[in-house]
Amino acid sequence: MDFGFTTAAYVVAAVLFILSLGGLSGQESAKRAIWYGIVGMAIATVATLIGPGSGLWFVSIVLVALGGAIGWQLANKVQMTQMPELVAAMHSLVGLAAVFVGFNADITINMVEAAKAAGESVEGNFAELVAKKTPVEIGILMVELSLGIWIGAVTFTGSIIAYGKLAGKVDTSAKQLPGGHMLNLAAVLGSLLMLVLYLGGSGSWTLILMALLAFFIGYHLIMGIGGADMPVVVSMLNSYSGWAAAAIGFSLGNDLLIVVGALVGSSGAILSYIMCKGMNRSFVSVILGGWGGSSGGAQAEVEGEQVAIDADGVASALEEADSVVIVPGYGMAVAQAQGAVSDLTSKLRGKGKTVRFAIHPVAGRLPGHMNVLLAEAKVPYDIVLEMEEINDDFPDTDVVIIIGSNDIVNPAAQDDPNSPIAGMPVLEVWKAKNVFVCKRGQGTGYSGIENPLFFKDNTRMFYGDAKATITELLSKIS
């Protein structure tokens, strides 16, 4: 099979990937977009396996099948609530692959140079490609593989820590070693020094030290980011994994990897910026691990008590209401209550009431998490609204039902300048006539920030498992 076929297949795959990425911008086109991506990846994989230099295609097929089987098993076992940490874990594998490919490229360069010195020929598609390069091109390749190793190493350890924080296996508070950002800066400067020494011919040990420094940077950066910013971190690591893939593409001379890596890298960076804007966070501050920190003042103390209500009380308020807004959060996903919430929505709409959903950009710890769950439960797309579309409507809303959300409905973001989420745009649910909060208990949630909303006069706490309480509520509505 010649290069012309492989190139043409890569172009088709790249177009399908672009269509896939574009289709993910809307709920109605998302399913079709996923199939574009699947077909594109299938074409790219087959073209690579049967293309030039693919002498070990049988081994590749076995490895692809093995990896696919493992992925299938993981996908079937992972709950929707675990999707954020699964994404972080997948990013770590991309980073580690970039590290391995970079070191393999360095070994190949050394092998080719040794063969040339001995007057011997080299075998292998990549080795033959390296052998044809000029000294200047070899230098460019060395820079490319160094960047791939560095970005991949940062992505690997950063993603592992992000996975740990999202899974609750690592403390979600922002923590740094003594020296803080100065340690990160020293590691970056050390990495640059290793790059200069490597290009100067000092040997592969410089790459090993560079990788170790990058591993530290990834670990220390993400440890320095608090739980409230984890959704942005996941998106940011997605961007890093894309640039790592692009670096792999440059090292291997694979145009499709370059295109796909650039798509993932740029879209992840843009999404991270949008999310930072939605949370009123500085993009640079987040990616540097909270540079600048908080104001240092004490958070305002919350006075009053949380008043509980039972299903009869909530049902009575819903019977009298004309307009209802439901705010879903991570607690709904944990309880797998989306089906019961969809049934409640249908029942209320059947009684002639206006029911809508309010979605915060970072609800559920992952962009689009709540949208996916609601779509899965057959909630109509046209009543699922983003924060900026519905925030002005809360003063005219009779009942707001919050299901497992905390930070995205916290008025401290507006009222307390010393709060960790100060300035973050939130859903202004407290302006509604009645607010009911479905919550397991009186805890402070994932980020550990107290919510004054729970103590307001128009708020009542509807305690219990979200699926059980919503199901009980359904039985109370005539």
The residues assigned a catalytic role are 407
* CA-CA-CA-CA dihedral for 330, 227, 165, 83, to nearest 10: 30
Token couple for 296: 């240092």
- Please give the sequence-ordered ranges of beta strands (E in DSSP) within 135-261, or none if there are none: none
Nearest-angstrom CA–CA distance, 170 and 189: 28
Q: How many CA atoms lie within 13 A of 253 on its CB side?
A: 17
Q: How far apart are the first and last CA of the chain?
A: 68
Q: Which long-range contacts (CB under 8 A, 24 or more apart) does 198-206 make?
A: 198/142, 198/146, 199/139, 199/142, 199/143, 204/103, 204/106, 204/107, 204/110
Nearest-angstrom CA–CA distance, 166 and 233: 10
Nearest-angstrom CA–CA distance, 470 and 477: 11
Q: 442: which residues sit within 8 A by CB, 6+ positions away?
A: 306, 454, 461
Token couple for 468: 């059980």
Nearest-angstrom CA–CA distance, 110 and 299: 58
Are the C-beta atoms of residues 268 and 186 closer than 8 Å to each other? no
User: Tokens 């797309």 correspond to what residue?
Assistant: 381
The DSSP bridge partners found for residue 438 are 403, 462
Q: 327: which residues sit within 8 A by CB, 6+ positions away?
A: 357, 358, 360, 363, 400, 401, 402, 403, 405, 408, 409, 427, 429
Nearest-angstrom CA–CA distance, 426 and 361: 9
DSSP type of residue 443: -
Query: Which burial class, exposed, middle or buried, applies to 55 when counting CB atoms under 10 A from its CB (0-12, 13-18, 19+)?
Result: exposed
Are the C-beta atoms of residues 357 and 326 closer than 8 Å to each other? yes
